């Protein structure tokens, strides 16, 4: 088994695959990349049993098809040091000895038996939908920060995908905040839903281009695959029923505040520095055309107060929010202005973009209030 490949091309593809590798694998073989040479096609696979990712490269110089598992870390670290030069791999299929020739350098390492590497899952009885890469990138960027971290609530650890003949919706929540991202320009002939884990979502976010590259998604009850360019990513879906997220979204919100997104975000960042670092609470006091943000940390006698001009309709209200959650939400909205819809000081508030230029995109972010400290 022998082939020649560009060092930069190989490194770029291995870097994409490395997102699948885990630092605490139960099987030593999962620390390897699986190299498969079939004619002029080189396929490289990484797996952690839950997620499997494969890239394919067409080579000009290759001979003797074969399969070998190569330790990932040492290969990545070695390739990282090279300029863009051709590299020759020579693998002895009997001893699994690997020799890498690059310029004036020669490097030898031991490969491993490919029989120990897990088989790539084969999906059966699948449904297929084709989505622009930009839709997935936007959906994942705007939802993944709202996913949960509680291992006891597995269904909240991922992003819920709901596909209908009218649209596709992505939802994430940790019970304190919720994000719903909907696209009306992407849909399927039939309805389906599944929960994607965070790890493959992060892998896809890192390697997908924010353009109109077509991504073919195939899914069944247990797995989903994403196929684009020279990449196939297959992941096991999270099993379970997702919460009825529509039931927690308040409908009658009589108080509406419209304000510049950047002004609000930077003010919250400043005021939050003086907040109690366990609650990160910032108080919103809204009346007339005025929003006053305040925070305090009694343990250190810290206190902050900022006044902002806004467009507000409704009765005066005081309500507290986690500054961390609000900063995450405002950082993931692209519009110049945002609308904060409220009903009562103990009910969830909605953060919505104003004048979104993407006409097919609907974004709703929900944030639960935190109990206000009693003022002296």
Give the model confidence (pLDDT) of 150-160 as tens digits: 988 999 999 99
Residue 146 CA to residue 158 CA, distance in Å, equals: 9
By the 10 Å C-beta count (0-12 exposed, 13-18 middle, 19+ buried), 219 is classed as: buried
In the chain, the domains with their CATH numbers are: 2-116 (3.10.150.10), 127-173+184-243 (3.10.150.10), 249-367 (3.10.150.10)
pLDDT at residue 371, as a whole number: 83
Given this model, what pLDDT does residue 146 score?
96
pLDDT tens readout for residues 343-375:
999 999 999 999 988 889 999 999 999 987 654
pTM, whole model, 2 decimals?
0.91
């Amino acid at each position: 088994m022998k082939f020649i490949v560009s060092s930069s091309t190989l490194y770029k593809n291995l870097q994409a695959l490395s997102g699948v590798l885990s630092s605490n694998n139960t099987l030593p073989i999962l620390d390897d990349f699986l190299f498969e040479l079939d004619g002029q096609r080189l396929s490289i696979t990484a797996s952690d049993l839950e997620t499997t990712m494969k890239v394919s490269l067409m080579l000009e110089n290759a001979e003797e098809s074969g399969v070998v598992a190569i330790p990932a870390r040492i290969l990545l670290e070695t390739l990282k040091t090279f300029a863009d030069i051709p590299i020759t791999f020579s693998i002895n299929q009997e001893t699994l000895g690997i020799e890498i020739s690059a310029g004036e350098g020669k490097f030898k390492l031991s490969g491993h038996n490919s029989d120990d590497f897990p088989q790539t899952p084969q999906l059966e009885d699948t449904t297929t939908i084709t989505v622009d890469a930009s839709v997935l990138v936007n959906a994942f960027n705007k939802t993944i920060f709202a996913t949960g971290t509680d291992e006891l609530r597995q269904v909240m650890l991922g992003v819920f995908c709901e596909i209908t003949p009218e649209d596709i919706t992505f939802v994430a929540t940790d019970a304190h905040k919720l994000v719903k991202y909907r696209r009306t320009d992407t849909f399927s002939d039939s309805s389906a839903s599944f929960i994607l884990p965070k790890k493959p979502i992060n892998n896809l976010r890192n390697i997908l281009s924010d353009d109109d590259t077509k991504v073919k998604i195939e899914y069944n009850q247990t797995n989903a695959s994403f196929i684009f360019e020279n990449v196939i990513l297959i992941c096991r879906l999270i099993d379970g029923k997702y919460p009825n997220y529509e039931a927690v979204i308040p409908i009658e919100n009589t108080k509406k505040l419209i304000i510049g997104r950047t002004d609000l975000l930077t003010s919250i960042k400043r005021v939050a520095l003086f907040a109690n670092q366990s609650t990160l609470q910032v108080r919103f006091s809204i009346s007339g055309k005025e929003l006053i943000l305040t925070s305090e940390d009694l343990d250190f006698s810290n206190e902050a107060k900022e006044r902002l001009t806004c467009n507000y309709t409704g009765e005066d209200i005081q309500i507290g929010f986690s500054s961390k959650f609000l900063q995450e939400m405002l950082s993931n909205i692209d519009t110049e202005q945002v609308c904060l819809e409220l009903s009562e000081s103990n009910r969830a508030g909605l953060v919505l973009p104003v004048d979104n230029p993407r006409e097919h995109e609907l974004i709703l972010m929900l944030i639960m209030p935190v109990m206000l400290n009693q003022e002296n």
